[in-house]
Amino acid sequence: MELSTFLQMFVNGTMIGFQLALFATGLTLVYGIMLIINFAHGELYMLGAFGVFFFCEQLGLDYFLSLILAMIVVGLIAIAMERIFFKPLRGQHIPSFVMSCGLAFMLQVSAVLAFGIKDKAIDSVFPGVVNVFGTFVSVERLMVSLISAVLIIGFYIFLLRSRYGRAMRAVMQDPDAAALQGVSINQVCSLGIGIGAALAAAAGGLLAPVFIFNPWIGPVLTWEGFIVVCLGGKTSLPGTLLAAFILGYIKSFVTTLVDPVAALMCEAAILGIILTLRPQGLLGHE
């Protein structure tokens, strides 16, 4: 394998890993706090891409402002979903899964009605390439990885240092004890799903200038996101990060060397192997 090919696959794998980390962090948060399976999370990612498209391409706003606005709007949509649909279903896996499937379909149809069925694209925000060890690497992919890293680091600082972050961790560990200490479970649930949705929207918005997108991009990423969550350990945020990059590099290398279908098969096989040998996931607890 040539060095240039390896570097291209490594950069792509890093970008995919950050995408999966942003996306799956929301799934881990929602499951850890509310114990629900949100299969509509992929549609929040899709709305992030369309949100940036609307604000940037149709309203002519700056890309970064468009990204922030898309994160806010999608976060508010997710909070409304939690208050109206998910609040009565906390802790109920099957009912919440069925409800989220219906919400996913509703969001897809809404996107079709608003933007049509044709693929959309956003003009390149970071054009050009850089020379890395004699290999030309896209500036756009490097910037997507860098901005994603900043968002993830910012989220972890919030989770570890802020009062609301500590409340979220307390609810994930023991909701009853957290409630006895005065933590508002309703407030934490809304905050958790809102932040998770905003991170998913950020992933969609960051990749919108890199790939084309349409109202049906969510389900495949949802599948990969749940693989990441299961591999990492369901409620383990560090495990989610580790699993995201493992899957990102597998997807990049196998897709390039074989094909995308083989990459999906490898992801499923790895999930089966890990959960057979370690059912609690890579960094999960018994």
Q: If residue 275 lies in a helix (H) or strand (E), which one and from where to where?
A: helix 260-277
In a domain, 258, yes or no: no
What gap in Å lies between CA 138 and CA 124, rounded to an integer?
11
In a domain, 59, yes or no: yes
User: What is the percent of the chain with per-residue pLDDT over 70, rounded to a whole number?
Assistant: 98
In a domain, 284, yes or no: no
Cα radius of gyration rounded to whole Å, the chain: 19
Q: Is 80 exceeded by the pLDDT of residue 134?
A: no
In a domain, 236, yes or no: no
In a domain, 254, yes or no: no
In a domain, 137, yes or no: yes
pLDDT of residue 138: 83
Strand partners, 137: 130
Q: Is 70 exceeded by the pLDDT of residue 286?
A: no
Q: Is 90 exceeded by the pLDDT of residue 98?
A: yes
Q: Is 70 exceeded by the pLDDT of residue 180?
A: yes
User: At residue 131, what are phi and psi to the nearest 5 degrees?
Assistant: -95, 115
Q: For residue 36, what are the domain limits? A: 15-215
The count of domains in the chain is 1
In a domain, 285, yes or no: no
* CB neighbours of residue 2 within 10 Å: 8
What gap in Å lies between CA 104 and CA 92, rounded to an integer?
18
Model confidence at 1, pLDDT cuts 50, 70, 90, reads low
What gap in Å lies between CA 66 and CA 48, rounded to an integer?
10
The rounded mean pLDDT for the chain is 91
In a domain, 280, yes or no: no
Instruction: Provide the CB-side half-sphere exposure for 285 (13 A, CA).
Output: 6
Burial (0-12, 13-18, 19+ Cβ within 10 Å), 56: buried
Instruction: Provide the CB-side half-sphere exposure for 167 (13 A, CA).
Output: 17
